[in-house]
Amino acid sequence: MTKRIKRHKEANSAMPTKEDTRDSLPNLAPLLLAEIVNQCSSGISVCDVNGKIIYGNQQFKTRYNLSPESYVQQFFINTFNDISIDDILDRVDTETSLHLVETKSSDQSDWIILRVSKIVYNDEIMLLFLVESLTSTIINHLRVNIKLETIVDHLPVLIAHVDQQDRYLFANRTYETFFNCPLENVIGNSVENLIGSDAYAERKTYIQRVKQGHSVIFDHTFFVDDDIRQLQLKLVPGESGQEDYYIFAQDVTELRSFQKKLEFQAYHDSLTGLTNRTFFIKSLNGILSRNQQNTGLLFIDLDGLKIANDNYGHDSGDELLKRFADILKHTLRPQDIVSRLAGDEFTILIANLSNPTHDLEEVCQRIQGALPATMNIEGFDEERWLAIADSAMYKVKRHGKGGYNIEPTWDIADLNESFQQESIE
Cα dist from 188 to 70, 168, 173, 248, 264, whole Å: 50, 5, 15, 18, 43
Single-letter residue type at 144: V
User: Which pLDDT score, from 0 to 100, does residue 313 have?
Assistant: 73
- What pLDDT is recorded for position 11? 41
Please give the single-letter amino acid code of residue 363.
Answer: V
Span 148-256: which CATH code? Answer: 3.30.450.20
Q: What is the mean pLDDT of each run of 10 residues along the chain (425 residues)?
A: 41 45 51 80 90 91 87 88 89 78 57 85 90 59 59 88 91 89 90 90 93 92 73 89 90 82 88 92 88 84 80 80 91 91 91 87 89 68 68 78 65 46 38
Distance in angstroms (rounded) separating the CA atoms of residues 269 and 260? 15
Q: What is the pLDDT of residue 339?
A: 94
DSSP 133-148: ETTSGGGHHHHHHHTH
Q: Decide if 2-141 and 148-256 have a common fold.
A: yes
Contact of 360 with 352, CB cutoff 8 Å = no
Confidence (pLDDT) at 10: 45
Identify the three-state secondary structure at position 251.
Answer: strand
Between CA 301 and CA 372 the distance in angstroms is 16
| Boundaries of every domain in the chain | 2-141, 148-256, 268-383
- Secondary structure of residue 64 in the 3-state scheme: coil
DSSP 257: H
- What is the pLDDT at residue 28? 55
Looking at 232-304, list the stretches that DSSP marks H as alpha helix, in order from N- to C-terminal side. Answer: 253-267, 277-289
The answer to pTM > 0.75 is: no
Provide CATH code, domain 2-141: 3.30.450.20
C-beta neighbour count of 276 within 10 angstroms = 18
pLDDT at 421: 39
* CATH code for the part of the protein at 268-383: 3.30.70.270
Give the pLDDT confidence score for residue 29 in this predicted structure: 64
Measure CA 86 to chain center: 47
pLDDT at 382: 62
- What pLDDT score was predicted for residue 151? 82
